[in-house]
Amino acid sequence: MAIFARLNRPRGTHNRLDRGAPVGRFEPMPIDPTEPYDEGNIFARILRGEIPCKKVYEDDHALAFHDINPLSPTHVLVIPKGAYVSWDDFSERGTNEEIAGFVRAVGKVARECGLVADGYRLLANVGLDSGQEVPHLHVHIFGGRPLGPMLAG
């Protein structure tokens, strides 16, 4: 499914792993990045080792893994290990060490994936209008082919 098609879903819903469903089964539910962190979100479950991932990188501040529905030849998600809903939440509550560690992890993953020479794109969605689907801060790293315009009209 193309990322832009997902933006056409009803306002106030996103896809989230159902806590009781097998991996890969999703249910729509509201997401509001101003609400408290949801410990049951899929990335929190990955961090706790409840759900496996295809790990690319891990350190004290971040975990990076391949997206299960890649939109480019290289599509890696980088998440902070702390309980942060969005960039604004992270920049407000994260320590300087956590923020620096996370930003460095994003760069390190791009380098280790061999994306620097040809270029890559970083994407972080926040809230309903952006299409944020998981209420845990995450950065998508896309690369491995020309990516076209930043936004499709």
User: Hey, which residues are catalytic here?
Assistant: 138
How far apart are the C-alpha atoms of 153 and 150, rounded to whole Å? 10
Give the integer Cα–Cα distance in Å for 49 and 68: 16
Contact assessment for residue 78 and residue 138, using Cβ atoms and an 8 Å cutoff: yes
Burial class (CB in 10 A: 0-12, 13-18, 19+), 103: middle
